[in-house]
A and B are shown apart, each in its own frame.
Chain A
Amino acid sequence: MKRITIDPVTRIEGHAKIVIQLDDNGRVAGTEFHVTQVRGFEKFTEGRPFYEMPGITSRICGICPISHLLASSKACDSIMAVRIPPAAYKLRTLAHCAQIVQSHALSFFYLSSPDLLLGMDSDMPSRNVLGVIAAHPEMARDGIELRKFGLQIIEGLAQERVHPSWIVPGGVAAPMSGSVRERILSDLPSAHAIASRTLRFFKNALDNYSYKEEIESFGSAPTMYAGLVDGKGNLQFYDGGLRFRSPSGEIIEDGIAAEDYAGWMGEASLRDSYLKAPYFKPRGFPEGAYRVGPLARMNAADQCGTPLADAEFTEFHQRFGAPAHSAFLYHYARLIEIVHALEKIELLLADPQILEKHVRATAGVNSLEAVGIIEAPRGTLIHHYKVNEEGGITWANLIVATGHNNLAIGRSIQQVSERFIDGRKLQEGMLNRVSAVVRAYDPCLSCSTHALGEVALRIQLVDADGDLCDEVASS
């Protein structure tokens, strides 16, 4: 028996290691997904003033600090027991949509497009974003432009692209100027064009059966799905109630309020991983595995709620059913969400209320426990705090998107490994498919474990006695 270890997994955010056990015939006997760092945000924030939490927790991640700022600020709003001003609500939503665009663009164009455009078996040294720039410059340019569009909205609102301190408990720190609004509106048509061009490319590839094998084998085992939806069942990024949908498509629970999440979600600890595994409590562990993120949101919601995205939503489910199960479709769902986010940006900017000057509510401690939930680009993000009467944090719990997907990622790795790995003639392309299924989830492991470290993936081949036989590392 041999063991393959992929350590580190590349083109993901954070650190992971995959171990694949092979039997004596070179067939996959088992797989393990290890997340290898711990960061301790929940512990070292104890004692800090609650209103510092958005600034501290946003430092968990440089890709989507806005997500942590929002979830944390929502929890702080609840501690203060305030309803934030309408303009602040809209500005937060605008920043969030901008972040969805830039983060999804990063995942699709920078991290996953090398696999999708150059091929899973293409030459490893050039299978990266530089390879994409060389082979498909127009696609690379689109990715950079789209990401820039999202980041420039954030910069226009918050003065900084990464780690702004503009989203604060009670609202936002400053209103939006008319000139920022005009600039976003002038850049919007180009962003729309890129999104629709990329969707066309992806669907065309689907029509030509380019990813048929991946769609069939990339984590296609049915799971439950969770995501925020509004009262009409529309996809929500910033607000709404949590909905769980069964693998066969029935709504199991709907309208779960942020403060009630713990009644429905349990967290299991896994051996050899710093990443906990949340599960749907009524079904127990591990049967209660569910997925979050773009694919889960497509499956949880009844529609997106904007015309262009709704048309894509309908086509998506016509092609792959409802719910659609393959993890490969996360890429497709991500592109639809970019379209939806762009439409939402347009709607928000058309609302004159967004320019109002009153953008911040103030209050002291009015509640000793609070939860903030949003849909981060990678899925449902939960910040749960307890404070003392002076406002000092006494306990914190963060459940991050990738955590929800932990069990599903593990199962997807197992499925892809069984389908593609042949231990008798191990090839890098086989292992890349294992990495690619992880990438499909766009995991942010530094977020999920609140960990520190570098980004990468390595695969090891170990025999039945535990001795290392072979190793493939990518950077």
Chain B
Amino acid sequence: MRLPQKKLSIRIDGELISAVEGQTILQAAKANGKYIPTLCDLEGLTPVGACRLCIVEISGTDRLFPACTTPIQDGMSVTTASTRLAHHRRISVELLLVERNHTCAVCVSNGHCELQSLASAMGISTVRFAYNYPKLGVDLSHPRFVLDHNRCILCTRCVRACADLEGAHVWEITSRGIHSRIVSDLNQKWGESRSCTNCGKCVQACPTGALAAKGCAVEEMVKRADNISSLVHRREVQV
């Protein structure tokens, strides 16, 4: 038998709301219809606070906190939108755009990309930083799917979808900092991975065109990230 969950009172953007103990700020905000931008978060996957787009202000401290990994506390007062937050979020997106080679016009996910949508919603038409233009490869070895490092934002949604849901643990991050990149198994070609079950959950979880179905032409890759979330919810149903 489940114990009743303790209710906490917090304020989000001045509005008093009731939330359940153990929820993150992001979960509490979503449950009450408050929008906080995210990229690395995907409902059902373990939050990691990688993209820093969900940063919020909390009264009583100057630090900014990622809403996806910060648990609520009774009496907490959270600000989700301010000039300061907008500035930091915009810089985060700009840095993602310059880090690798995001050429929307010829991308399989053009028009269906979470990074593109976010940049568009923020009104980002130019970036203030120099483009990095790294020389990155494309792993075409898998019979059904493609990994394009040029379009990867290292959100690790694929890593977590594979580990949390499929339990296959195919994906990992190798190297550090600017050299970080997604690898399958022990840095083998994806097509040679023995642990991959070819389920495609990583592809559906990916917010950009980094992971895509093979053969998709420009604009054709439409992801169903909501399938990942609904799959998690269905698994939690106990009959």
Chain A residues in contact with chain B, CB under 8 A? 47-49, 51-52, 54-56, 59, 163, 165, 168-169, 173, 362, 364, 390-392
Q: Could you say which residues of chain B place their CB within 8 Å of the CB of A55?
A: 106, 217-219
CA distance A392 to B140 in the complex (A): 7
Q: Knowing A49-B214, A51-B215, A55-B218 touch, does A390 contact B105 (C-beta < 8 A)?
A: no
**Is the CB of B141 closer than 8 A to any CB of chain A?**
yes
Do B140 and A51 touch across chains, with their CB atoms under 8 A apart?
A: no
Which are the 7 A-B pairs with shortest beta-carbon distances?
A55-B218, A390-B140, A165-B218, A168-B217, A165-B219, A56-B106, A55-B106
CA distance A163 to B219 in the complex (A): 11
Q: Could you say which residues of chain A place their CB within 8 Å of the CB of B143?
A: 364
Q: Which one, A59, A163, A173, A364, contacts B217 given CB within 8 A?
A: A173
**Is the CB of B114 closer than 8 A to any CB of chain A?**
no
Do A49 and B220 touch across chains, with their CB atoms under 8 A apart?
A: no
Q: Could you say which residues of chain B place their CB within 8 Å of the CB of A364?
A: 143, 214-215
**Is the CB of B78 closer than 8 A to any CB of chain A?**
no
Do B137 and A165 touch across chains, with their CB atoms under 8 A apart?
A: no
**Is the CB of B146 closer than 8 A to any CB of chain A?**
yes
CA distance A383 to B141 in the complex (A): 24
Q: Give a binary string over B136-156; 1 marks a CB under 8 Å from any A CB, 0 the rest.
A: 011011010010000000000
CA distance A56 to B218 in the complex (A): 8
13 new A-B contacts at CB < 8 Å, known A52-B106, A59-B105: A47-B137, A47-B138, A48-B138, A49-B214, A55-B106, A56-B106, A165-B218, A169-B215, A173-B220, A362-B215, A364-B215, A390-B140, A392-B140
**Is the CB of B108 closer than 8 A to any CB of chain A?**
yes
CA distance A241 to B110 in the complex (A): 36
Do A165 and B214 touch across chains, with their CB atoms under 8 A apart?
A: no
**Closest chain B CB from A165 CB (angstroms):** 4
Q: Could you say which residues of chain B place their CB within 8 Å of the CB of A391?
A: 140, 214
A56 and chain B: residue at smallest CB distance: B106
Do A52 and B214 touch across chains, with their CB atoms under 8 A apart?
A: no
Q: Could you say which residues of chain A place their CB within 8 Å of the CB of B105?
A: 59, 163
Among A59, A173, A390, A392, which residue has the most Cβ atoms of chain B within 10 A? A390
Q: Which one, B108, B141, B191, contacts A52 given CB within 8 A?
A: B108
Q: Could you say which residues of chain A place their CB within 8 Å of the CB of B106?
A: 52, 55-56, 59
Do B138 and A51 touch across chains, with their CB atoms under 8 A apart?
A: no
**Closest chain B CB from A61 CB (angstroms):** 13
Q: Which one, A165, A169, A173, A392, contacts B138 given CB within 8 A?
A: A392
Among B137, B191, B218, B219, which residue has the most Cβ atoms of chain A within 10 A? B218
B101 and chain A: residue at smallest CB distance: A44
Do B217 and A390 touch across chains, with their CB atoms under 8 A apart?
A: no
Q: Knowing A55-B106, A56-B106, A59-B106 touch, does A49 contact B218 (C-beta < 8 A)?
A: no
Do A52 and B140 touch across chains, with their CB atoms under 8 A apart?
A: no
**Closest chain B CB from A224 CB (angstroms):** 36
**Closest chain A CB from B148 CB (angstroms):** 8
Q: Could you say which residues of chain B place their CB within 8 Å of the CB of A168?
A: 217, 220
**Closest chain A CB from B136 CB (angstroms):** 9
Q: Could you say which residues of chain A place their CB within 8 Å of the CB of B140?
A: 49, 390-392
Do B138 and A49 touch across chains, with their CB atoms under 8 A apart?
A: yes
CA distance A362 to B216 in the complex (A): 11
Q: Could you say which residues of chain B place their CB within 8 Å of the CB of A48?
A: 138
28 pairs, A vs B, C-beta closer than 8 Å: A47-B137, A47-B138, A48-B138, A49-B138, A49-B140, A51-B214, A51-B215, A51-B217, A52-B106, A52-B217, A52-B218, A55-B218, A55-B219, A56-B106, A59-B105, A59-B106, A165-B110, A165-B219, A168-B217, A173-B217, A173-B220, A362-B215, A364-B143, A364-B214, A364-B215, A390-B140, A390-B141, A391-B140
Q: Knowing A52-B106, A56-B106 touch, does A165 contact B215 (C-beta < 8 A)?
A: no
CA distance A254 to B233 in the complex (A): 65
**Closest chain B CB from A465 CB (angstroms):** 42
B110 and chain A: residue at smallest CB distance: A165
B137 and chain A: residue at smallest CB distance: A47
Q: Could you say which residues of chain A place their CB within 8 Å of the CB of B141?
A: 390
**Closest chain A CB from B141 CB (angstroms):** 6
Among B138, B146, B217, which residue has the most Cβ atoms of chain A within 10 A? B217
**Closest chain A CB from B151 CB (angstroms):** 12
Q: Give a binary string over B109-153; 1 marks a CB under 8 Å from any A CB, 0 the rest.
A: 010000000000000000000000000011011010010000000
A159 and chain B: residue at smallest CB distance: B219
Q: Knowing A49-B146, A59-B105 touch, does A169 contact B137 (C-beta < 8 A)?
A: no
**Closest chain B CB from A215 CB (angstroms):** 42
CA distance A41 to B140 in the complex (A): 20
CA distance A173 to B216 in the complex (A): 10
**Closest chain B CB from A76 CB (angstroms):** 9
B136 and chain A: residue at smallest CB distance: A47
B135 and chain A: residue at smallest CB distance: A47
CA distance A71 to B218 in the complex (A): 16
**Closest chain A CB from B102 CB (angstroms):** 14
Q: Could you say which residues of chain A place their CB within 8 Å of the CB of B217?
A: 51-52, 54-55, 165, 168-169, 173
